[in-house]
Amino acid sequence: MPVAFYPGTFDPITNGHIDIAVRATRIFTRVIAVVAENPAKHHLFSANERFELVKEAFRGVPKIEVIRYPGLIVDCLREHNASVLIRGLRALSDFDYEFQMAFTNRNMLTGAETVFLMPSAKYVYLNSTMVKEIAKLGGDVGPFVPECVRKRFKKKFAGTRR
Ligand code: ADP
């Protein structure tokens, strides 16, 4: 199987993202996580922080590479002469948006295919927004994110809570 690109904002990377990427490595020979740099979107973590955390989370996973990309994912695919995208599907609520994205990407790049993978049931209700809320309010995000992200949250919100 060819290389697959796994794009996302990863603000920040969670165990749900990791679950999907690792699943993808069982199907594809190489998986490239692409950290999107959309300056118009508001993120808690900077592009640099998001990139560093994704790299740290996948350190030691041989089939996963991490890159950052400032433009459209189809241009990233073109540049790498690739055509496969990985996306995660949690609940039905993801479907409409993902469906639109998959068709739009295929309209922009003929031959672009999106492969959807479902995470382990324990990550079905996990998303970055919820994790940020928990961290902001002083909760323990340990079960939801890799250790590097837990530490970064601690640093970011140090002093804002007890
Ligand atoms: P979002 O699209 O929700 O802003 P990302 O861009 O970081 O978040 O997500 C990248 C991809 O990872 C998307 O396909 C998203 O559905 C998937 N993903 C995120 N969290 C999970 C999870 N808990 N389980 C499965 N897939 C997930």
Sequence spans of domains, the chain: 3-156
Is there an atom of ligand 1 within 6 Å of 10 CB? yes
Among 36, 20, 42, residue whose Cα is nearest residue 73: 36
Residue 102: how many other CB atoms lie within 10 Å: 17
35 conformational bin, left if phi > 0, alpha if psi -120 to 50, beta if neither: beta
pLDDT tens for the chain, 162 residues: list them: 799 999 999 999 999 999 999 999 999 999 999 999 977 778 999 999 999 999 999 998 999 999 999 999 999 999 999 999 999 999 888 899 999 999 999 999 999 999 999 999 999 999 999 999 999 999 999 999 999 999 999 999 887 754
What number does the ligand 1 atom closest to the CA of 94 have? 16
Q: Which of 50, 68, 83, 128 is catalytic?
A: 128
Determine the residue of 20, 73, 97, 115 to mutate for testing ligand 1's pocket, defined as the one with the most ligand atoms within 8 A of the Cβ atom: 20
Cα 127 to ligand 1 centre (Å):
7
Q: How far apart are CA 153 and CA 138, in angstroms?
A: 10
User: From the CA of 97, how far away is ligand 1's center (Å)?
Assistant: 11
Q: Read off φ and ψ for residue 87, nearest 5 degrees.
A: -135, 150
Helix (H, G, I), strand (E, B) or coil at 32: strand
- For atom 5 of ligand 1, which residue has the closest CA? 8
CA–centroid distance, 140 to ligand 1, in Å, is: 21
Fold adopted by 3-156: Rossmann fold (3.40.50)
Q: Which atom of ligand 1 is the closest one to the Cα of 126?
A: 23
103: which 2 tokens? 């068709």
Please, which residues have CB within 8 angstroms of residue 20's CB and are 6 or more apart in sequence? 6, 86, 87, 88, 117, 119
Q: Give the strands of the sheet with 84-88, arranged side by side.
A: 64-69, 30-36, 3-8, 84-88, 113-117
Its pTM stands at 0.94
Query: Does 17 participate in catalysis according to the annotation?
Result: yes
